[in-house]
Structure 1
Amino acid sequence: KESKIIFKFVPTTNNSYYLTLGAPLDSDNVTFYLGNRQLNQYSTFRHTVIVNLASHAKGQEIVLTAVFKKSSLWLNHFVLYQMNNQLVDRRLAQLKKQQPVVKKLSESKLSVTYNQKKSQQLVATTIPYNVGWHAQVNGKSVKIIKIQKMFLALKTKGLGHKKIILTYRPPYLLTGLLISLISLVILFSYYWCRKKHRKMR
């Protein structure tokens, strides 16, 4: 016969509620239903995923049904979380007040201005990290660092107004231009010498 577990809870607030599902809880092993609606799942996933179960549902019964596809199921990372919506809204409002102003100067150049309120600050971006990026803070060059193994970031020091200029130059562009220039000079010199030699003959 069909094996299933029915989980029920009643939210005591209008906050958002999230359920985490570990890797064994993919669609090959179990099908989840929220009420009468089937939850869409990946067939396989390696990491824990998060599913939103309820929001603004204070006092309403939430029913989650897990239907087994195999004889046993390991409820790995099967945890219900409540998010403090008011706290998140306050934090987002604070972030918006400190939101930097980004201006695109060209296809390979960005200008960022903001007011720094800490003695040290990590400025994170969603720009993919590449060795061709260079940064200046208030006219001084600073080191570009990689965060989360893929994004570009940099550290700034000192309070007050900051102006960051990010510039992208393809790696070895200057080296390539120099080699090309030297090659042209050698080639021009060779033809000039050859032409002069012919006139002398």
Structure 2
Amino acid sequence: MKKSTMIFSVFILLLTFSIGAYAATKYNFTFDGKKQSMDVQLINNKAYVPLNAVTELFGGEVTYDSKSKTYAVTSNSTGSTTAQNGLSKTIDNVTVKIDKVVQDSDSLKVYVTYINNSDNKINTTDSLTRIVANGKQYSYNTEFNFERWYKKDVPHADSYIEPGVTEENVIFFEPVNADSINIALTVKWEDYRFNHVKITK
């Protein structure tokens, strides 16, 4: 075999291994309940994914300025630690938003908005709601809530919400000695969790 032919053969072999090592492979990703299949390149045990695809999963947008050669990412984050600014999380086109958490001597009130952009009705399942404060868990109390719904003019969402409907709700708990709480709600049998939500007193 001629030397030039051997060098060319080795070059093709190395190119083949190189392409195989860095070739993109389809993987399934889940971000905040949103599922999508995207190309992933595994390089030195690190996963590299397309910036646009990941950003769009979070409801964001990627723009590129060719003059400055700059990519700008505008996010629509569902994670905020200030309840007064509104915390929201979307799973399968169903959004749960914590509007605010207010506490007085009577109760701690979690103000929630349900937005059903799915094609099916959803169950709100208030009875599965729980909060955590100072390492202690507080579960939903049916009697405690009923008395406050009945005596006060507060929003009360239906047990089932039809497609395209937005409803507000207030969930009551006994007062807690804390500045912030963690909240876990179950909607459409999916867990919606919000951590470090500030309490207004």
TM interval, shorter chain, is under 0.3
TM-score norm. by structure 1 comes to: 0.27
TM-score norm. by structure 2 comes to: 0.27
Structure number, greater radius of gyration: 1
